[in-house]
Amino acid sequence: MNSYLIGVSFLLSAALISCQTSKKEAMAPAVAAPIVAKPTSSTALKLKPTKELLLENGLKVYIFRDLSLPRFSINLLIKVGQKDDSLDKVGVNYLTASLLEQGTSQYSATQIADKIATLGSDLSIAPGEEYTIVSIDGLSMSVDAIVDVFGEVVFKPTFQNEEIAKLKKEFAAQLKKIQDDPSQMADLGLSAFLHKGTSLAFPPIGTEASLKKIGKSDLIKNYLANYRPNNSILSIVGNVSDEVEKKILDRFKAWPSRPLKASIAAAKPAADTKKIESQFKKGLVQSEIRVALPMIPRKHPDYLKLRLINEIFGGGFVSRLNSKIRDQLGLTYGISSSLDLGLDSGYMYVSTFTKNETTAQVLEQINSEVTKLINEGVTPKELSSAKNMVLAQFPRALETVDRVAFNFMYLDFYGVGPSYLYDFQRSVDRLTLEDINQAIKTHFNIDKMKIFVLANPSIEKSLVGQAAK
């Protein structure tokens, strides 16, 4: 299974090109003409699912045929993640997902690993905050064996006691290892600050206390309740003949559905007017700084506007943050912003590091740049550059059929229509400077900005003044 990557997923939204097209805006004055970017094109933008199916058991299926290579992949998005964990048993879904390949009714963990290696295949399991992805790929000639292994992993995990104990031990070791990684500590510190009182305030793999509470029955209960066809989206990609398609679908048609629990709104953190949270660790020669600005849910029609704003503010190498704080002032080797927007809410994050003694100065500069963005907006030149950059990134992010398929699942999950893929350039072109600057006024509120700092105890007094600002 893929190695565990902990912390806030700052780059998810930027890496995925599943961008919501904005709703049609009110007629702007004639002087506010759109800033048109350079035209772009890509065969990837023309790709559509060969088929879209809804099986009797409730499983939604996208099929993308690509006969150029003798390979295929199966990707399953399951609508369960860390946000669904209970407060006392955080980590139950991460553990559930991680155990899928650690033994089934037919194969042991070793046998699964051996079969995948023999087939030249790759199995990937990625539990996240809001959904879990299980994927496998391989050669079309091995479809029977690959589908058999994938079906066993998804449909028949056994959650053996010895494997549970082994993974718990590994996770406990990872939690201790985090203490030696300031960057991960800062990411988790910000999460704890932002999501206090919810499951997202803790590491995805859980805590030492929660891992001790999680038993086999909790894993089985989570699996039976959430790992269901009527709670999932499937994509089948590649050299998929009618015969191969039938073999895969027949296997998934046999996956029994279950009534799903009524959707419960995600737990929201308690209101907190505190602006800055700090943590101190002896021996640190530089401080880690994390900043979060509350934003919109993923499906909000202003998403595309925020992507352009993020590119200008801190998403690109020539962004305002990098140009001012890195290039002009030399206070850091790197600073960036990113969007992470979910089902119900989202954030724009700023991430950087600096010498302990310049921590307060960097915080002041970030505060100044946010204030300037709100008060002055962006310039026509900045918007034109951001449009060109976003459009240049778009085709590359959809250059393979696998990426297109994933984006269809991703968009489906977040309730965003797929039409934006084919209207993407027009959607970017029609955004005016007024549109962008109005979005800044609407969604940016410096009074709601949250800051987390991990630093040497020697600068504790200097941060007291920052908390009052």
Rounded CA gap, 231 and 238, in Å? 24
Give the residues of the chain that fall short of pLDDT 50: 1-33, 39-44
> Which residue type sits at 341?
L
Helix axes 303-310, 420-429, angle to 10 degrees: 60
Helices assigned H by DSSP within 179-215 = 182-194, 208-213
Quote the crossing angle between the two packed helices 303-310 and 433-443, to the nearest 10°: 90
CA distance to 369, 370, 371, 428, per residue, from 325 (Å):
10, 13, 15, 29
Q: Which residues contact 40 (CB under 8 A, 6 or more apart)?
A: 391, 392, 394, 395, 425
Per-domain residue ranges of the chain: 43-253, 276-468
**CA angle, 183 then 185 then 189, to 5°:** 120
> Which of the four CATH numbers 3.40.50.720, 3.40.980.10, 3.30.830.10, 3.40.109.10 does domain 43-253 have?
3.30.830.10
Residue 469, pLDDT score? 56
Q: Hey, is 128 helix, strand or coil?
A: coil
> 229-279, pLDDT tens digit by residue?
999 999 999 998 898 899 999 999 999 999 998 765 556 776 678 899 999
Which residues does 289 contact at the CB level (< 8 Å), separation at least 6? 186, 350, 351, 352, 353, 354, 359, 362, 363, 366, 451, 452, 453
| Topology given in CATH for the domain delimited by 276-468 | Cytochrome Bc1 Complex; Chain A, domain 1 (3.30.830)
Q: In what order do the strands lie in the sheet with 232-238?
A: 51-54, 60-65, 232-238, 71-78, 132-139, 122-127
Are both 43-253 and 276-468 of the same fold?
A: yes
Nearest C-alpha neighbor of 310 from the set 74, 10, 82: 10
Kindly report, residue by residue over 335-371, the tens digit of the pLDDT.
999 999 999 999 999 999 999 999 999 999 999 999 9
User: Phi and psi dihedrals of 108, rounded to 5?
Assistant: -85, 170
Q: What angle do CA 145, 148, 150 make, to 5 degrees?
A: 110
The pLDDT of residue 412 is 93
* pLDDT tens digit sequence for 387-398: 999 999 988 878
Residue 281 burial class via C-beta count within 10 angstroms: exposed 0-12, middle 13-18, buried 19 and up: middle
3-state secondary structure of 305: helix
Greatest Cα pair distance in the chain? 70
Task: Tell me what pLDDT residue 338 has.
Answer: 97
Please list, residue by residue across 252-272, b when 16 or more beta carbons sit within 10 angstroms of its beta carbon and e when fewer do: beebeeeeeeeeeebeeeeee
Cα separation, 86 vs 417, whole angstroms = 31
Measured CA to CA, the distance from residue 239 to residue 66 in angstroms comes to 5
